[in-house]
Amino acid sequence: EPEVTQTPSHQVTQMGQEVILRCVPISNHLYFYWYRQILGQKVEFLVSFYNNEISEKSEIFDDQFSVERPDGSNFTLKIRSTKLEDSAMYFCATQPGFTDTQYFGPGTRLTVL
Protein backbone atom coordinates (compact mmCIF):
# COMPACT_ATOMS: atom_id res chain seq x y z
CA GLU A 1 0.00 0.00 0.00
CA PRO A 2 1.38 3.42 -0.91
CA GLU A 3 2.62 5.51 2.00
CA VAL A 4 3.62 9.07 2.68
CA THR A 5 7.28 9.24 3.62
CA GLN A 6 9.15 11.99 5.44
CA THR A 7 12.82 12.74 5.85
CA PRO A 8 14.66 13.10 8.06
CA SER A 9 13.00 11.29 10.91
CA HIS A 10 14.85 13.48 13.41
CA GLN A 11 16.57 16.80 12.83
CA VAL A 12 18.62 18.65 15.40
CA THR A 13 19.58 22.22 14.61
CA GLN A 14 20.89 25.34 16.24
CA MET A 15 18.63 28.32 16.81
CA GLY A 16 18.74 30.67 13.82
CA GLN A 17 19.59 27.95 11.31
CA GLU A 18 17.47 27.07 8.32
CA VAL A 19 15.89 23.64 8.09
CA ILE A 20 14.08 21.88 5.29
CA LEU A 21 11.72 19.05 6.05
CA ARG A 22 10.85 16.78 3.17
CA CYS A 23 7.79 14.77 2.34
CA VAL A 24 7.13 12.41 -0.53
CA PRO A 25 3.38 12.31 -1.14
CA ILE A 26 1.41 9.39 -2.42
CA SER A 27 1.42 9.46 -6.18
CA ASN A 28 -1.54 11.24 -7.78
CA HIS A 29 -2.59 12.98 -4.58
CA LEU A 30 -3.54 16.58 -5.13
CA TYR A 31 -3.70 18.24 -1.73
CA PHE A 32 -0.79 18.55 0.65
CA TYR A 33 -0.62 19.62 4.26
CA TRP A 34 1.80 20.27 7.07
CA TYR A 35 0.82 19.91 10.70
CA ARG A 36 2.90 20.13 13.81
CA GLN A 37 2.67 18.84 17.34
CA ILE A 38 4.61 20.49 20.11
CA LEU A 39 5.34 18.00 22.87
CA GLY A 40 2.33 17.62 25.11
CA GLN A 41 0.09 19.77 22.92
CA LYS A 42 -2.48 19.29 20.19
CA VAL A 43 -1.65 18.60 16.59
CA GLU A 44 -2.03 21.95 14.80
CA PHE A 45 -2.64 22.75 11.18
CA LEU A 46 0.10 24.81 9.53
CA VAL A 47 -0.61 25.04 5.82
CA SER A 48 -2.40 23.45 2.91
CA PHE A 49 -1.12 23.41 -0.65
CA TYR A 50 -2.94 22.73 -3.89
CA ASN A 51 -2.15 23.35 -7.51
CA ASN A 52 1.30 24.67 -6.63
CA GLU A 53 0.11 27.34 -4.29
CA ILE A 54 -0.87 27.79 -0.67
CA SER A 55 -4.61 27.40 -0.27
CA GLU A 56 -4.77 28.08 3.45
CA LYS A 57 -2.36 28.82 6.27
CA SER A 58 -2.65 29.22 10.00
CA GLU A 59 -1.45 32.04 12.21
CA ILE A 60 1.54 29.89 13.08
CA PHE A 61 2.69 29.89 9.46
CA ASP A 62 4.44 33.25 9.46
CA ASP A 63 7.12 34.63 7.15
CA GLN A 64 9.69 32.25 8.58
CA PHE A 65 7.88 29.33 6.99
CA SER A 66 7.55 28.41 3.34
CA VAL A 67 6.41 25.40 1.35
CA GLU A 68 7.01 24.24 -2.17
CA ARG A 69 7.05 21.27 -4.51
CA PRO A 70 10.41 21.89 -6.14
CA ASP A 71 10.39 18.92 -8.48
CA GLY A 72 6.74 17.95 -8.67
CA SER A 73 7.19 15.07 -6.26
CA ASN A 74 8.74 16.20 -2.99
CA PHE A 75 6.76 18.58 -0.81
CA THR A 76 8.97 20.62 1.48
CA LEU A 77 8.56 22.78 4.53
CA LYS A 78 11.30 25.31 5.11
CA ILE A 79 11.89 27.22 8.30
CA ARG A 80 14.29 30.06 7.55
CA SER A 81 15.54 30.94 11.00
CA THR A 82 14.55 28.40 13.59
CA LYS A 83 13.49 29.35 17.09
CA LEU A 84 13.43 27.24 20.21
CA GLU A 85 9.64 27.14 20.03
CA ASP A 86 9.78 25.51 16.61
CA SER A 87 10.82 22.29 18.31
CA ALA A 88 8.01 19.88 17.51
CA MET A 89 6.96 16.86 15.50
CA TYR A 90 6.06 17.90 11.97
CA PHE A 91 3.62 15.77 10.02
CA CYS A 92 3.04 15.84 6.30
CA ALA A 93 -0.33 14.68 4.99
CA THR A 94 -1.59 14.20 1.46
CA GLN A 95 -5.05 13.78 0.07
CA PRO A 96 -6.49 12.58 -3.23
CA GLY A 97 -8.94 14.87 -4.92
CA PHE A 98 -12.07 12.76 -4.49
CA THR A 99 -12.19 12.36 -0.71
CA ASP A 100 -11.50 14.35 2.44
CA THR A 101 -9.36 11.58 3.91
CA GLN A 102 -5.77 12.55 4.54
CA TYR A 103 -2.82 10.17 4.63
CA PHE A 104 -0.10 11.01 7.08
CA GLY A 105 3.62 10.45 7.09
CA PRO A 106 5.48 9.23 10.19
CA GLY A 107 6.64 12.71 11.08
CA THR A 108 9.93 14.55 11.50
CA ARG A 109 10.98 15.41 15.01
CA LEU A 110 12.67 18.81 14.94
CA THR A 111 14.79 19.79 17.92
CA VAL A 112 16.08 23.36 18.05
CA LEU A 113 18.90 23.97 20.53
Interaction site with another protein (CB under 8 A): 3-4, 9, 31, 33, 35, 42-45, 48, 55-56, 91, 93, 95, 100-107
List the Cα angle 113/10/79 in 5-degree steps: 60
Closest CA to 34 of 12, 57, 18, 11: 57
Q: How far is the CB of 109 from another protein (least distance, A)?
A: 10
Q: How far is the CB of 15 from another protein (least distance, A)?
A: 26
Q: Closest CB to another protein among 31 and 76?
A: 31
N-terminal to C-terminal alpha carbon distance within the chain: 37
